[in-house]
Structure 1
Amino acid sequence: MLQIAGWKRVLILLVCLAGIALSLPNVFYGRVEAYNDAARLVEAGGQPDAEQTAALEGWPDFLPSGLMNLGLDLRGGAHLLAEVQLADVYESRLDGYWPEVRDALRDVRDQVGTIRRQDAPPGELRVRIGEPAGMETALAAVRALAQPVASLTGVGATDIAVRAEGDVIVVTLSEEEARATDDRTMQQSLEIIRRRVDEAGTREPTIQRQGADRILIQVPGIGSATELKELIGTTARLTFHSVVRRTSDGAERGNADELLHPSMDAADGGLFYVLDRTPVVTGDDLVDSQPAFDQNGLPAVTFRFNPSGARAFGVWTTQNVGQPFAIVLDEEVITAPVVREAITGGSGQITGSFTVEEANRLAILLRAGALPAEMEFLEERTIGPELGQDSIDAGQIAAIIALAAVLAFMVLSYGLFGIFASVALAINIALIFGVLSLIGGTLTLPGIAGIVLTIGMAVDANVLVFERIREELKTAKGPARAIELGYERALSAIVDANITTFIIATILFTLGSGPVRGFAVTLGIGILTSVFTAIFVTRLLVVFWFERRRPKTIEV
């Protein structure tokens, strides 16, 4: 007999109602989006203004508020392709080796004589010794500093290569360490860019590595490519240095242990600072940074070090009370206060000629961390929301035409059973949007194509069932038995056809990227919901009708 257990009926109805409820917020996208933004502000402890309060009241709390995200091609936004300057990292790495090399050579000074760092091309550390006869001793002392390469591809190798050129020791990174450094730099750049974009509150950015040294960045909803570049395009390299002296001569050259940086503060009138090359602490030791106001009510930025940074800064300030130290951001001295007392708490404040917006942006950059290397932007595009709206409108028209054509075909071909299939198709579309909202999926223009394709594919299962019912009716087994056998004997064909399509969708998602993955997501979800509605929802509608009407004969 044509029967469905009571608990199965309840479960099918609950799934359908849940899908409709989850998809409902997308019908009121702008209102729900404003509600979500205001709700996040309240959760973070902020005070909503009048507009945000109205947004909170504009959507009932008891209804779902999850939205599917709109991709770059629908929402508009910015697209950047950046090339990471990996060679910059080599220079900073070798600068970090200099104190260790100097101390190692000082231990054998009686054999190597004087020790003086020389100017060197990028990627090299060059040290001249006073006694060339002691070169072998010097090389052995420096080579003893080498450490194993921390990567699977560099097993057995050390991180530095040391050679002699006359009376000069040349230190470079080994090939294995250079490869490991490149990989770490790219991974760090990806993570920091992602954190900076997330700090700005954008939705569903696409940030992925392309090739050996390039990063693709796509951020929906941001105003322009220029705005995105301002957010991620600076290294925000923060360092704290001892001040050797001040000068007004921007062309003054110190020795190899010193740096010359201009003052960022216009009030200093072209003042330059000569600093120790090796920083006391760096921005890598920062664990938090927030915008604030100083004692004069001017915008400032507070910061807090991790334990190792706090310890190093505390030791240095204890030994240098009364001496100035410079806070350097991107090779410009923000401020150079005098140490009045030891700073052992691990926190401090950066003041300067900031606006509120600049202080907030600087806090975001420092909190997200410093990019390990500069980036050169090879490609940048701004996609306006008007273009996205055009895409949405075109997708809607395509979906409506496809839906109308499928509904007309089903009703004309199968009559009342075609109407049941059409109702199930509408529920199927609601389930697709409901699942996308539940998982926070991103809808792109190819994703809309996947939905349109799903609309056409969704009735295939019903066609198989209905045709099978027609065949069973010819054997005069009665309508109830014919419907039951139609569903049972069409099931294997339905499952086989959809499994093969789902495998293709899985491969597209796994191996594809960007638009291809967007298409694969909606196609895969559409396959699952289509099978569910064809096997369960349509059958449940037929059962409800049959139990109410009890027809002696049926026409499919």
Structure 2
Amino acid sequence: MVYLSRLRVILIGLALISMVFGASHAFASVPGAHILFRLDTDEVKGRRLEAMRDQIRTLLHDAEPRISYSGLAVSSLTVQLRIDDPGQVEAAKVALKAVVEPIAGKDGPVQEFALDDSERGLLKFAMTDAGAKYRTSEALTQSIEVIKNRLNELGVADPSVQLTDDGLLVQAPGVADLHSLAQILARQGRLSFQLVDTSMPVDDAVNGQPPVGSTVLYTQNDPPVPYLVEDRVLVSGDSVLDAEATHDSSTEQFVVAFRLDSKGTQRFKWATTRNIGKPFAVILDDQVISAPIIREPIEHGTVQISGNFTAQSAKELALLFRTGALPARLTIVEEAR
């Protein structure tokens, strides 16, 4: 059995090595080398709609008096729900006012969602064209920043990253192993800690319908091992302040240690204090790396991940944590010299 301890999260398995760029990289000079990426804009919009769905759930949960609803779901570019009591429709619209309020864009306010309440009792919040454009633009800007940070961390000489009509163009004239570099830059690197849902056997969830608010995720094992994981993210990679690869002399293993910000530290302490004895999933890019048991509260913001890492794979994992996650998938369209 693997346990979650005060300053260490032990992660099992060789799978992470293959997930986190096990190959070594050479960066010899090759003039004209470049990579073209394309951002998955559908995923950008989909994640935003899922976030809005969760926000609506929270707003209605916190409403006073309580508002009863059903059918909260994402459909195409719309988040919709049905208010059970017609007499509470107006109260629901007031509680959800923030959903349709304009957000601050670079060129002025942006109406991201529009409300359609033409059908009795049914509220539909549709993402506007302006909202989709704004989120896509923000995701492209974030992707460029993450790519630049990774190139800088890798020590790539004289790189450039620019947005073209065909996608994100990365010029790296100092790189010989272009394919390995492309794999590193395209990695999303989304880290999260989420509770394992023990309300039903995972096999029942796989063969039937998972409970609302939970999803079946798999490990990279062969065959993959399923876990029923709560959708709620308790601590995410956004809370990571710094990360470094090091060698643990007591175990003779390469490890990755990272430090959480104050918010992440408090969330980690809160979650582990209230869930002692329960499994806690460590997830990287929608795959379960491990699900250790919480033995005691983790009150400090330092977490150490250990496994059968090589020096290179530990360094690259630390790089992902330091430079942050991409907002959506990047597809490698072209590698050329």
CA distance in 1, matches of 2:256, 2:101: 38
Conserved? CA contact 2:237–2:325, under 8 Å: yes
CA distance in 2, matches of 1:240, 1:117: 25
Q: CA deviation at 1:356?
A: 3.4
CA distance in 2, matches of 1:122, 1:363: 36
Question: Secondary structure in 1 aligned to 2:141?
Answer: helix
Per-residue CA shift, 1:235-292, capped at 9, x if unaligned?
11111111103625745531441121102355xx632111111211211221112223
1:67-82 equivalences under 5 Å are 75-76=30-31, 78-82=33-37
Counterpart residue number, 1:433: none
CA distance in 2, matches of 1:312, 1:160: 30
CA distance in 2, matches of 1:176, 1:142: 20
Asked if residue 197 in structure 1 is aligned to residue 154 in structure 2, the reply is no
Conserved? CA contact 2:100–2:115, under 8 Å: no
CA distance in 1, matches of 2:305, 2:82: 38
Look up the equivalent residue of 2:147 and give its one-letter code: I
| Cα separation, partners in 2 of 1:265 and 1:305, compared to 1, 3 Å | farther
Look up the equivalent residue of 1:253 and give its one-letter code: Q
CA distance in 2, matches of 1:292, 1:252: 43
The gaps in structure 1 that reach 5 residues or longer are 1-71, 384-556
Counterpart residue number, 2:225: 271
Conserved? CA contact 1:242–1:326, under 8 Å: yes
Match of 2:164 among 210, 217, 225: 210
Conserved? CA contact 1:280–1:316, under 8 Å: yes
Question: Secondary structure in 1 aligned to 2:80?
Answer: strand
Counterpart residue number, 1:377: 332
| Cα separation, partners in 2 of 1:251 and 1:233, compared to 1, 3 Å | farther
Counterpart residue number, 2:8: none
Match of 1:260 among 216, 223, 238: 216
CA distance in 1, matches of 2:78, 2:305: 33
CA distance in 1, matches of 2:224, 2:272: 27
Look up the equivalent residue of 1:272 and give its one-letter code: P
Counterpart residue number, 2:72: 117
Task: Give the structure, 1 or 2, with the largest relative contact order (CA under 8 Å, sep 6 or more).
Answer: 2
CA distance in 2, matches of 1:231, 1:170: 39
Q: CA deviation at 1:133?
A: 4.8
1:73-472 equivalences under 5 Å are 75-76=30-31, 78-107=33-62, 112-118=67-73, 120-121=74-75, 123-155=77-109, 157-164=110-117, 167-211=121-165, 214-245=167-198, 247-248=202-203, 250-265=206-221, 270-293=224-247, 296-381=251-336, 383=337
Look up the equivalent residue of 2:210 and give its one-letter code: G
CA distance in 2, matches of 1:353, 1:130: 53
CA distance in 1, matches of 2:329, 2:159: 21
Taking structure 1 as the reference length, the TM-score comes to 0.50
| Cα separation, partners in 2 of 1:98 and 1:115, compared to 1, 3 Å | same
Per-residue CA shift, 1:299-350, capped at 9, x if unaligned?
3322211222222222222222222211110110111122222222112122
CA distance in 2, matches of 1:236, 1:355: 18
Conserved? CA contact 1:77–1:218, under 8 Å: yes
Task: Name the % identity.
Answer: 29
Conserved? CA contact 1:299–1:351, under 8 Å: yes
| Cα separation, partners in 2 of 1:152 and 1:203, compared to 1, 3 Å | closer
Question: Secondary structure in 2 aligned to 1:350?
Answer: strand
* Structure 1 or 2: more strand by fraction: 2
Conserved? CA contact 2:69–2:81, under 8 Å: no
| Cα separation, partners in 2 of 1:197 and 1:252, compared to 1, 3 Å | farther
Q: CA deviation at 1:145?
A: 4.4
The gaps in structure 2 that reach 5 residues or longer are 1-27
Conserved? CA contact 2:193–2:282, under 8 Å: yes
Look up the equivalent residue of 1:232 and give its one-letter code: L
Look up the equivalent residue of 2:123 and give its one-letter code: I
Q: CA deviation at 1:167?
A: 4.5
| Cα separation, partners in 2 of 1:163 and 1:265, compared to 1, 3 Å | same
CA distance in 1, matches of 2:81, 2:212: 10
The aligned length equals: 305
Q: CA deviation at 1:83?
A: 1.3
| Cα separation, partners in 2 of 1:109 and 1:270, compared to 1, 3 Å | farther
Q: Kindly report the root-mean-square deviation, in angstroms, between the aligned alpha carbons of the 2 structures.
A: 2.8
* Structure 1 or 2: more helix by fraction: 1
Conserved? CA contact 2:100–2:112, under 8 Å: yes
1:516-535 equivalences under 5 Å are none
